[in-house]
Structure 1
Amino acid sequence: MYTIGYDIGSSSVKVAIVEAVTGKKLASLHEPPGEMEIIAIQRDWAEQDPEQWWDYICKATKRILQEANIDATKITAIGISYQMHGLVLVDKEGNSLRNSIIWCDSRAVAIGDKAYQDLGHEFCATELLNAPGNFTASKLKWVKDNQPHIYEQIHKYMLPGDYIAYKLTGELVTTKNGLAEGTLWNYKTNKVATELLDYYGIDHSLTPDVVDNFTDQGKVHTAAAKATGLPKGISVTYRSGDQPNNALSLNIFRPGEVAATGGTSGVIYAVTDQSDFKEIRKVNHFAHVNYTKEHPTVGRLLNINGAGIQYRWLRNNSVENSYENMNRKASKLPIGSDGVLVIPFGNGAERMLDNKNVGTHFCNLNLNQHSNAHLYRAALEGIAFSFVYGMDILKKDQTEINVIRAGNDNLFRSEIFANTVATLIGQEIEIYNTTGAVGAARAAGLTDGDFDRFGESITKNDHVMTYIPIKNKEPYKAAYNNWKTELEFTVQKHN
């Protein structure tokens, strides 16, 4: 028997099939072969067509079933991971009303900031555990204010994973985890945050019914079975935003455990059982996948929008044709890149910088001395320094950090990046061979609630290596302090 998992990202849709009992990966792939388009009609906007996600789900599923050469009738359950904070709107027929406003769209920043001021820090900190910020609720308010003709047609609003689950099952439902991602969950009352809906003037009936994770959330219907090749009647049992799901994939369930992600954006996701949070404007707090009212496990998420996208931009706009070549050139240069600095924030407003959009900056270039290799190393270091800067914010807010784990992909393939982070924070970083789609597939079978057994299997089978902090920290500290000075000067200019 097998389970299948999907990871709906902003660059592609990934799918994986694993053995139901052992969790062993049988196959994984992604669609499209390149990258999905992000539609930016105006500066700081970012949208995608939800129907395109579904189209790639169907193509990827049919292809993986063929390439894995398995009997599709032996697939027993479906897990879904998805890009967080997005907004999908459907009418009474379940048709998408507009493009999804996705996670890196910054149009609702001012709306969320005003809500925070009007509702007050105390309410936001104790009941929402977040400032409303640029999340799903604020994006919905933007639609209400700016596209009333669309708002009037809304039957339900959803997160991206809810929409894919709906296309599979016909069930318009969500989870408390998903609502928490949109600042739409009240942790004090343990229900939908109707106070924020009322403040924004949003009809309560637009919120889908709430279902629990690791349960039957709906069964694949005839049309979806025909479109994907999946067996009719199997259940979607799990859905989660990509960062909580990434933590699950890395056996991050307990206080003091941290998952790090170095993809298009960078994320530090620290699990805690505390509830006294100060930095709610810079750090997000979401119900973790194992959250219950009795055991309120919360994921503290610090996001860095401008991370891997910076390195990808350099690759796409230079003579190099691979990250490996860039890494090789960068490795020949000293720590600190001979004075070149890169401030890597060019992908929308940065929450940890008080929602400022400071952009990307290349600093101290000497046209007679520096080469493209200096840019590559400075970019890797700049992204690593932004992770360290974020870690410092978490530590100042009493976040316990005992274990850090990351997937064996993207930025963590770079020794420069990983060694810089490990050395400056003084913490080993464990690398695991897993992905979000594999984690979602495994989670689809986690219906018995045995997180310890689930995690032990990951630690035993998936560990690849561990980055150890380098003993001589001084060159790293000097480079970081130079970068931090430049960053603070840049931020001050945007005040």
Structure 2
Amino acid sequence: MLLLGIDVGTSSIKVSVVDSQTQDAIASAQYPEDTENKVISVQPGFAEQDPNTWWEHTQLAISAVLARDQVNASDISAVGIAYQMHGLVVVDEEGQPLRNSIIWCDSRAVELGEEAFESIGHEKSLERLLNSPGNFTAAKWAWVKQNEPDVYKTAHKIMLPGDFIAMKLTGEMTTSISALSEGVFWDFQSNSLSADVMRHFDFEDNIFPELRPLFSEHGTLQQSVAQKLGLKPGTTVSYKSGDQPNNALSLNVLRPGEVAATAGTSGVIFAVSDQLVSDKESRINTFAHVNYTEDDIRTGVLLCINGTGILNSWVKQTMGQSLSYSEINQLASSIPPGSEGLSILPFGNGAERIFNNRIIGSHFLNLNFNHHNRAHVFRAAQEGIAFAFRYGLDILRENGMNPSIIRAGIANMFQSKLFAQVFSNVTNTPVELYNNDGSVGAAIGAGIGSGAFASYDEAFEKMKVQETIEPESNHPYEELYSQWHHLLTDKINK
């Protein structure tokens, strides 16, 4: 039995086919392959993508993976979807997008979210929503209501990016508690839509798709779609999750105290708790994990840094276009720790939650034109990203999350041995690396949702650690982090 996983990322769509017997990915493909999806930014702080482009690229990625010799499309029994979190997709009655999706790193709705935080009350928001509304999906929908009244009046449903792709596959519109919680629409005390959020923004309840369990049938493939893609009509879409809970699932991070990390366009540390955790300053966020139920609380306490891998990508595009990432990593490794005084703050991708939704920008500090070259920049970028993770991890530690080990997939920044080692050194935490990624996690989720796996334990019984990175002895990164933190504090206080 084969399982198909789709990961709707910011930069590309990745698809994997997993054999449920071996639990191995037998084929993967992504689209675009050599470039990245465009983020539309018509003015500073705006970030949008076209949902129809996601769908077009999803179809191309599925077609590419099904063309692999080792894949028999008729053996695919279920489909799972992971997706970039917090995006707003607005559709009409025919399921057609009424505007571009306002995606996760868009900052336009911060003020509206802050107004809601004040109106609802800080204590009540953190107790019931576990977050301030910030610039999450609820605030983005409020922005559309305020600035695009024709779109607001015409809208039939709003949904998350994964809900949209599932709708295109099945023709059905569904969502989950986890999805509503990541949009900050969910009240964890009443286990229902937040009356406070709906009342403050004057939203209608019927704007949301049908609520279903995350691991359940979210529809079956429409005959026309199945025929076009070469899949069986009636194949079940049995799992949908935001990318960070899904990344945790892919690493078998499901129990209280377990921690996952990812460093793609943005960087995330995701800690599982059996408590309704909130940070007094709302610098971290708590959402319903994939295995959350009212009777068995499993929340994901999420530390997000918008500017991580996007810095590494920008550095490559501007200073290393002719180089592969492997060559960039080799050049970075030739420079000593600390990049000979060059420091980079990686926060150039919109408002950062860890700074109370402030935009502080990215900064290159102590750059010496007579000494530093691009190799220094390559290393300083990776160190700056690792330092940002340490800054965030310290906030998690303030809130009782003290990981003894962090799990990560060998993907994105964790493909760099230099970055993985610096990350382990500066956080003083071992890192276990696995061969899983978001699309593999989505496929495994499809297996759990469809019953191909009888339990979570069975779904991961064959998962193996590929490598463990231990903090080195006598490394200089505690002092180097202190220096970087001092530079950051100067920028924050200005």
1:316 counterpart letter in structure 2: Q
The aligned residue for residue 481 of structure 1 is: 482
Q: Which runs of 5+ in 2 are unaligned?
A: none
**Residues of 1 paired with 2:18 and 2:379: CA distance?**
37
SS state at 1:152 partner? helix
- Taking only the aligned residue pairs, the percentage that are identical comes to 46
Select which of 409, 418, 422 maps to 2:420.
Answer: 418
**Residues of 1 paired with 2:328 and 2:253: CA distance?**
31
1:2 counterpart letter in structure 2: L
Residues 1:452 and 1:357: Cα distance change in structure 2 (over 3 Å): same
Select which of 328, 331, 352 maps to 1:350.
Answer: 352
**Residues of 2 paired with 1:416 and 1:105: CA distance?**
30
The aligned residue for residue 173 of structure 1 is: 174
The aligned residue for residue 363 of structure 2 is: 361
1:15 counterpart letter in structure 2: V
Q: Which runs of 5+ in 1 are unaligned?
A: none
Q: How does 1:201-280 map to 2 (within 5 A)?
A: 201-279=202-280
SS state at 1:81 partner? strand
Deviations 1:357-415 (A, max 9, x none): 11111111112222111111111111100000000000011113133101112211223
**Residues of 2 paired with 1:125 and 1:138: CA distance?**
16
Coordinate RMSD, CA, aligned: 1.3
Select which of 328, 331, 335 maps to 2:330.
Answer: 328
Residues 1:451 and 1:279: Cα distance change in structure 2 (over 3 Å): farther
Say if 2:218 and 2:238, in contact at 8 Å, map to a contact too: yes
Shift of 1:226: 2.8
The aligned residue for residue 448 of structure 2 is: 446
Deviations 1:48-105 (A, max 9, x none): 1111111111111122111245332221100000000000011111111110001111
The aligned residue for residue 437 of structure 1 is: 439
SS state at 1:348 partner? coil
Say if 1:108 and 1:139, in contact at 8 Å, map to a contact too: yes
Q: How does 1:55-454 map to 2 (within 5 A)?
A: 55-279=56-280, 281-319=282-320, 320-447=322-449, 448=451, 450-454=455-459
**Residues of 2 paired with 1:217 and 1:103: CA distance?**
23
SS state at 2:68 partner? helix
Say if 2:11 and 2:36, in contact at 8 Å, map to a contact too: yes
SS state at 1:114 partner? helix
SS state at 1:381 partner? helix
Residue 5 of structure 1 pairs with residue 5 of structure 2: yes
Q: How does 1:12-23 map to 2 (within 5 A)?
A: 12-23=12-23
Deviations 1:326-379 (A, max 9, x none): 211221222111111101110111110111111111111112222111111111
Q: How does 1:34-73 map to 2 (within 5 A)?
A: 34-73=35-74
Runs of 4+ in 1 over 4 A off after TM superposition: none
Range 311-320 or range 373-382, more displaced: 311-320
Range 412-421 or range 204-213, more displaced: 412-421
Shift of 1:22: 2.7
Question: TM-score, normalised to structure 1's length?
Answer: 0.96
SS state at 1:253 partner? coil
Deviations 1:106-163 (A, max 9, x none): 1111111111111112221111111111101100000000000100001100000000
User: How many pairs were matched up?
Assistant: 489
Say if 2:346 and 2:384, in contact at 8 Å, map to a contact too: yes
Shift of 1:223: 2.2
Deviations 1:256-292 (A, max 9, x none): 1111101111111111112242345210111001111
Say if 1:130 and 1:280, in contact at 8 Å, map to a contact too: no
Say if 1:165 and 1:171, in contact at 8 Å, map to a contact too: yes
Residues 1:70 and 1:275: Cα distance change in structure 2 (over 3 Å): closer
SS state at 1:445 partner? helix
Say if 1:266 and 1:306, in contact at 8 Å, map to a contact too: yes
**Residues of 2 paired with 1:457 and 1:339: CA distance?**
45
The aligned residue for residue 457 of structure 1 is: 462
